[in-house]
């Protein structure tokens, strides 16, 4: 007896719908993509009850004549590809001819459409996949699709839907993706009769980001530096170091205009940020990749959310490089700001400045033990001329009046009574102005924008990290001999792996050699590490390195090892530093590749702008 039979068309569509239409947001995605493919300039959306009760999408695209409108509801009917060869290089968002029939088979569906120059349009009503009405209709040129009662005929599917709020948020996210991916198109979203946003067609991505997320976010983004590879154009924005999120929700990635999810790209972005990102945090990206459509396979995921690259390594490398370069360029801008001499108004004489003496006297220690004014100890007032003046009292100690900023001069080395004199030229040369140290941890500095707080511990971590990394890259990490060399055994695959990667391990400062089949001997470890059980440590390194997969990442792993260890060596909070030490610390920090965060991604410095201070003091609203 024959057991196999062909499924009726409606059931086949419902099966297909299971893959294409997961939830209301998928309906929104498919309909908006159709509108974009139809050349729409604006797309207006309306949803009710999380899109479960209604999704309506209205566009001003090319519309369809009656025959096409009917055909669009057939499975495998598409205007976007004609032959298998077209599948090799897809330039449209849709291509399978599946979305409309799938959606129409699991909802109460209504399509009205009119071509631009046609006198009348067409209206088609479909219920659960059955065409019920076909008549003249359609008012404005373009297409309107209404999807009501989603999954009304598939109760099992309906049960999987989340709360209306969650579904609405998914839809909003979907529209954000489309709106960022297509800034030149106007979008509006009405949710349960409330207008959530109306985005006019924008001239640039910058405008669209501002319209959608506000100017504050925009200020914290940096534009991606292109030019990484001629075959892969990368553009868009990423968050400055210090800007990150607890979820992936603002990690937007587009490949040839299509919003996609890609673990390859996410990993590459992370690698690009590397130590500039805190563990468990996600970067903010508006990342656009443009490459030859023939170099990407978009036909790999039922909802077209993923793609496959023909040369994934090239893509990964281009992204990593691009992000690193961008963050480094941003660093130059940041340093520039720091180095800008403070603009002092010529009209402000010391006399005109209010004498804000907190204590009447500040003792000036001799050079050898001269500490910065710690702000829980005596502090001075303001001298807007840029140099401190001093008197010498009878006890032979210098008394600073109005020591608004510390002069960069050195007291004479003979240890004579230090006299701090006005040194306008030196002060003017000074690249940054240190005010003092708060709570033995935060270095207070002044720059053109206002106040900068530097975490001395985090700063020192960053400096040590970059020093060690540099050494690792140039000559390999210095090795410290173990008192007692250790041997350990490994299973054949791990042993084989070590054999092949001995040179990487040696570069990382691990002195390891083969000691018989499956046995190895370690007699040295990186000198900056403090490891109690070398064999255990080696097993961990092998696991990590194996999962890293390639040599570029092995260097990264070495960096990680360094990052973990520098913490132990860095100056701690509460280590009181002297002025020259602090000055050196800040200079060294500014010379780092990524000065604004420690190797664990925590900020090293925080800027509090004059505008913020003015706001806090109620000078400005």
Ligand X SMILES: Nc1ncnc2c1ncn2[C@@H]1O[C@H](COP(=O)(O)OP(=O)(O)OP(=O)(O)O)[C@@H](O)[C@H]1O
Footprint of Mg ion on this chain (CB under 5 A)?
34, 94, 99
Give the integer Cα–Cα distance in Å for 236 and 223.
Answer: 6
The nearer residue to ligand X, 77 or 134, going by C-beta atoms, is: 77
**Which of these ranges, 74-82, 423-431, 478-486, 590-598, lies near ligand X under the rule CB under 6 A?**
74-82
- Residue 557 Cβ, how far from ligand X at the closest point, in Å? 41
Q: Would you count residue 79 as binding ligand X (CB under 6 A)?
A: yes
With beta carbons less than 8 A apart as the criterion, state whether 466 and 331 touch.
no
Could you say which of 72, 122, 402, 447 contacts ligand X (CB under 6 A)? 72
Per partner kind, with CB cut-offs from 5 to 8 A, the member of Mg ion, ligand X, none near residue 36 is none
Query: Closest Cα partner for 302 from 95, 4, 536?
Result: 95
Q: Would you count residue 137 as binding ligand X (CB under 6 A)?
A: no
Q: Would you count residue 38 as binding ligand X (CB under 6 A)?
A: yes
Q: Would you count residue 174 as binding ligand X (CB under 6 A)?
A: no
- Residue 294 Cβ, how far from ligand X at the closest point, in Å? 18
Q: Would you count residue 35 as binding ligand X (CB under 6 A)?
A: yes
Query: Residue of minimal CB distance from ligand X?
Result: 94
Give the integer Cα–Cα distance in Å for 453 and 596.
Answer: 11
Per partner kind, with CB cut-offs from 5 to 8 A, the member of Mg ion, ligand X, none near residue 61 is ligand X
Per partner kind, with CB cut-offs from 5 to 8 A, the member of ligand X, Mg ion, none near residue 60 is none
Per partner kind, with CB cut-offs from 5 to 8 A, the member of ligand X, Mg ion, none near residue 266 is none
Q: Would you count residue 78 as binding ligand X (CB under 6 A)?
A: yes
The nearer residue to Mg ion, 21 or 589, going by C-beta atoms, is: 21
Per partner kind, with CB cut-offs from 5 to 8 A, the member of Mg ion, ligand X, none near residue 103 is none
Q: Would you count residue 318 as binding ligand X (CB under 6 A)?
A: no
Query: Closest Cα partner for 75 from 102, 93, 108?
Result: 102
The nearer residue to Mg ion, 40 or 406, going by C-beta atoms, is: 40
The nearer residue to Mg ion, 103 or 444, going by C-beta atoms, is: 103
Sign of CA dihedral 257, 262, 267, 270: positive
**Which of these ranges, 61-69, 287-295, 305-313, 433-441, lies near ligand X under the rule CB under 6 A?**
61-69
The DSSP bridge partners found for residue 251 are: 285
- What is each CA distance from 293 to 232, 307, 460, 508, in whole angstroms? 11, 11, 47, 40
Structure tokens at 456: 């001395």
Query: Closest Cα partner for 403 from 425, 415, 416, 385?
Result: 385
The nearer residue to ligand X, 112 or 430, going by C-beta atoms, is: 112
- Residue 111 Cβ, how far from Mg ion at the closest point, in Å? 13
- CA gyration radius for the chain? 32
The nearer residue to ligand X, 38 or 477, going by C-beta atoms, is: 38
Read off φ and ψ for residue 131, nearest 5 degrees.
-75, 125
Give the integer Cα–Cα distance in Å for 592 and 468.
Answer: 12
Per partner kind, with CB cut-offs from 5 to 8 A, the member of Mg ion, ligand X, none near residue 78 is ligand X
- Residue 34 Cβ, how far from Mg ion at the closest point, in Å? 4
- Residue 139 Cβ, how far from ligand X at the closest point, in Å? 15
The nearer residue to ligand X, 97 or 576, going by C-beta atoms, is: 97
Could you say which of 46, 55, 62, 590 contacts ligand X (CB under 6 A)? 62
With beta carbons less than 8 A apart as the criterion, state whether 233 and 290 touch.
yes
- Residue 115 Cβ, how far from ligand X at the closest point, in Å? 9
Surface-to-core class of residue 187, CB atoms within 10 Å of its CB (0-12 exposed, 13-18 middle, 19+ buried): buried
With beta carbons less than 8 A apart as the criterion, state whether 478 and 558 touch.
no
Q: How many residues bind ligand X (CB under 6 A)?
A: 22
With beta carbons less than 8 A apart as the criterion, state whether 520 and 513 touch.
yes
Structure tokens at 572: 């701690």
Per partner kind, with CB cut-offs from 5 to 8 A, the member of Mg ion, ligand X, none near residue 232 is none
Q: Would you count residue 43 as binding ligand X (CB under 6 A)?
A: no
Alpha helices in 360-508 (DSSP H): 424-429, 456-475, 492-500, 502-507
- Residue 64 Cβ, how far from ligand X at the closest point, in Å? 5
The nearer residue to ligand X, 38 or 268, going by C-beta atoms, is: 38
- Residue 245 Cβ, how far from ligand X at the closest point, in Å? 30
Could you say which of 80, 248, 397, 556 contacts ligand X (CB under 6 A)? 80
With beta carbons less than 8 A apart as the criterion, state whether 55 and 47 touch.
yes
The tally of CA atoms less than 13 A away on the side-chain side of residue 507 is: 18
The nearer residue to Mg ion, 93 or 498, going by C-beta atoms, is: 93
Query: Closest Cα partner for 50 from 163, 217, 144, 186?
Result: 163
> Tokens 């400005």 appear where?
620
- DSSP for 569-614? HSPPTT---BHHHHHHHHHHHHTSSSTTB-TTS-BSEEEEEHHHHH
Query: Residue of minimal CB distance from Mg ion?
Result: 94
Structure tokens at 91: 């330039």
Per partner kind, with CB cut-offs from 5 to 8 A, the member of Mg ion, ligand X, none near residue 35 is ligand X
Phi-psi region of 402 (alpha: psi -120 to 50; beta: other; left: phi over 0): left
- Residue 104 Cβ, how far from Mg ion at the closest point, in Å? 12
Q: Which residues contact 377 (CB under 8 A, 6 or more apart)?
A: none
- Residue 60 Cβ, how far from Mg ion at the closest point, in Å? 17
3-state secondary structure of 251: strand
Site string for ligand X, 83-102 (x = CB under 6 A): -----------xxxxxxx--
Q: Would you count residue 390 as binding ligand X (CB under 6 A)?
A: no
Give the integer Cα–Cα distance in Å for 355 and 2.
Answer: 101
Query: Closest Cα partner for 498 from 476, 509, 483, 513?
Result: 513
The nearer residue to Mg ion, 34 or 456, going by C-beta atoms, is: 34
The nearer residue to ligand X, 31 or 582, going by C-beta atoms, is: 31
Residues numbered 13-32 forming contacts with ligand X, rule: CB under 6 A: 30
Interface residue list for ligand X (CB under 6 A): 30, 34-35, 38, 59, 61-64, 72, 77-80, 94-100, 143
């Amino acid at each position: 007896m024959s057991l196999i039979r062909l499924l009726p068309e409606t059931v086949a569509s419902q099966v297909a719908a299971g893959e294409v239409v997961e939830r209301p947001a998928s309906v929104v995605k498919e309909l908006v993509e159709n509108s974009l493919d139809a050349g729409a300039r604006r797309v207006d959306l309306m949803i009710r009850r999380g899109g479960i009760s209604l999704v309506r999408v209205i566009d001003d695209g090319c519309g369809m004549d009656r025959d096409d409108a009917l055909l669009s509801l057939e499975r495998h009917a598409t205007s976007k590809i004609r032959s298998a060869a077209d599948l090799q290089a897809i330039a449209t968002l849709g291509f399978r001819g599946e979305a409309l029939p799938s959606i129409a088979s699991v909802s109460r569906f209504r399509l009205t459409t009119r071509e631009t120059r046609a006198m009348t349009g067409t209206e088609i009503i479909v219920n659960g996949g059955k065409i019920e009405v076909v008549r003249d209709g359609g008012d404005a040129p373009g297409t309107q699709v209404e999807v009501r009662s989603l999954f009304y005929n598939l109760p099992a599917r309906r049960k999987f839907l989340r709360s209306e709020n969650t579904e609405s948020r998914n839809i909003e996210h979907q529209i954000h993706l489309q709106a960022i991916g297509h800034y030149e198109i106007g979008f509006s979203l009405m949710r349960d009769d409330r207008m959530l946003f109306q985005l006019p067609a924008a001239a640039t991505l910058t405008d669209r980001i501002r319209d959608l997320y506000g100017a504050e976010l925009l200020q914290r983004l940096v534009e991606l530096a292109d030019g990484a590879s001629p075959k892969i154009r990368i553009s868009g924005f990423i968050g400055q170091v210090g800007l990150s999120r607890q979820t992936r929700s603002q990690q937007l990635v587009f490949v040839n205009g299509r919003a996609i999810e890609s673990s390859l790209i996410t990993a590459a972005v992370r690698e690009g940020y590397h130590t500039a990102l805190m563990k468990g945090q996600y970067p903010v990206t508006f990342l656009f990749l443009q490459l030859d459509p023939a170099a990407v396979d978009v036909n790999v995921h039922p909802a077209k959310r993923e793609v496959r690259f023909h040369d994934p390594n090239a893509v990964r490398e281009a992204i990593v490089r691009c992000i690193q370069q961008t963050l480094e360029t941003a660093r130059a801008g940041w340093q520039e700001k720091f180095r800008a001499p403070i603009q002092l108004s010529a009209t402000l004489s010391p006399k005109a400045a209010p004498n804000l003496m907190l204590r009447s006297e500040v003792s000036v220690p001799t050079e050898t033990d001269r500490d910065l004014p710690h702000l829980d100890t005596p502090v001075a007032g303001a001298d807007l001329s840029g140099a401190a003046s001093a008197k010498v009292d009878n006890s032979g100690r210098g008394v600073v009046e109005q020591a608004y900023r510390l002069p960069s001069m050195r007291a004479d080395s003979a240890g004579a009574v230090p006299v701090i004199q006005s040194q306008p030229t030196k002060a003017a040369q000074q690249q940054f102005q240190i005010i003092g140290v708060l709570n033995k941890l935060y270095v207070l500095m002044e720059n053109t924008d206002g106040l900068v707080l530097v975490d001395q511990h985090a700063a020192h971590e960053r400096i040590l990290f970059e020093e060690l990394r540099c050494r690792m890259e140039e000559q390999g990490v210095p090795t410290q001999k173990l008192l007692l060399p250790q041997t350990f055994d490994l299973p054949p695959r791990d042993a084989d792996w070590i054999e092949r990667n001995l040179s990487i391990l040696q570069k990382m400062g691990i002195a390891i050699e083969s000691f018989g089949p499956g046995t190895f001997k370690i007699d040295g470890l990186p000198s900056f590490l403090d490891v109690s059980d070398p064999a255990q440590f080696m097993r961990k390194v092998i696991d990590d390195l194996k999962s890293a997969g390639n040599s570029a990442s092995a260097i990264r792993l070495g960096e990680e090892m360094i990052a973990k260890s520098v913490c132990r060596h860095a100056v701690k909070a509460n280590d009181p530093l002297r002025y020259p030490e602090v000055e050196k610390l800040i200079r060294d920090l500014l010379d780092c590749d990524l000065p604004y965060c420690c190797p664990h991604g925590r900020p090293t410095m925080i800027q509090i702008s004059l505008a913020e201070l003015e706001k806090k003091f109620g000078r400005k609203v």
